[in-house]
């Protein structure tokens, strides 16, 4: 794992976004760790996270290949806005941001989307916090596809949980095949536990041998 990847993980722990213990996920799975993008709620944290995302996108995609940075409601909203700002300030790449509403607005700026116009042929980069089974991404793609024929150039996430979907398939591989796109992550579950195992952060060791053993058991049950 590269030093910048470890820097990102330590940043997540220090900000309280990455926690270890026992957590029930949206999928119903009981996980030994939890990633909460809502913990990046300060100006500093938002700025740093946006820079991590912007660097990943700038190093992965050609600027001319996409038009819009899209963030699914709700956690994806500040990610899209902050990353657009960082793309411009850090990499001189000017893009529009967009996010969806949970329910369509019927007056004023009516519709389900806020920000950039979603029209046929627009190239979209989607941002989100984690990828477990891909349910939230599917919902967002369904909304986008309901108004236009968009080009999904990639999905960028903070953490790849490296898990199976409900059908027992590699969740990300199945998603990529279905939508003809790629999922890129700032970190992966396996890499995260290997990098943080025994590492002291903020005066403590978040991933001690007990936590690591719990992850190994979780990975046996749900991991790819």
- Annotated catalytic residues are 105, 107
Which stretches does DSSP call E strand in the chain? 18-24, 30-35, 68-71, 96-105, 111-115, 123-131, 151-160, 183-188
Q: What are phi and psi of 23, to 5 degrees?
A: -135, 140
The b-or-e profile of 37-66 (16+ CB within 10 A means b, else e) is beebeeeebbebbbbbbbbbbbeebeeeeb
| Residue 88 parent element (H or E) | helix 76-91
SS3 for 182? Answer: coil
Q: Is residue 83 packed enough to be buried (19+ CB in 10 Å), middle (13-18) or exposed (0-12)?
A: buried
Distance CA 124, CA 147 (A): 14
The single-letter DSSP state of residue 36 is -
Q: Is 220 exposed, middle or buried (0-12, 13-18, 19+ CB in 10 A)?
A: exposed
Q: What are phi and psi of 127, to 5 degrees?
A: -115, 145
């Amino acid at each position: 794992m590269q030093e910048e990847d470890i820097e990102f993980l330590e940043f997540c722990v220090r900000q309280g976004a990455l926690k270890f213990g026992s957590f029930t996920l949206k999928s119903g799975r009981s996980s030994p760790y939890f990633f909460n993008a809502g913990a990046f709620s300060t100006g500093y944290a938002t700025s740093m996270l946006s820079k991590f995302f912007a660097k990943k996108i700038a190093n992965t995609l050609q600027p001319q290949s996409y038009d819009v940075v899209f963030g699914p409601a709700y956690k994806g909203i500040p990610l899209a806005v902050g990353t657009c700002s960082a793309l411009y300030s850090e990499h001189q790449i000017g893009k529009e941001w967009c996010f969806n509403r949970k329910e369509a607005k019927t007056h004023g700026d009516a519709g389900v989307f806020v920000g950039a116009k979603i029209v046929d042929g627009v190239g979209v980069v989607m941002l989100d916090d984690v990828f477990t089974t891909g349910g939230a991404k599917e919902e967002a793609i369904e909304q986008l596809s309901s108004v236009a024929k968009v080009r999904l150039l990639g999905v960028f996430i903070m953490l790849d949980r490296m898990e199976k979907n409900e059908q027992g398939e590699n969740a990300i591989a199945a998603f990529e095949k279905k939508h003809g796109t790629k999922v890129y992550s700032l970190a992966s579950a396996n890499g995260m536990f290997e990098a943080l195992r025994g590492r002291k952060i903020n005066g403590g060791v978040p991933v001690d041998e007990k936590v690591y053993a719990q992850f190994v058991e979780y990975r046996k049950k749900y991991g790819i």
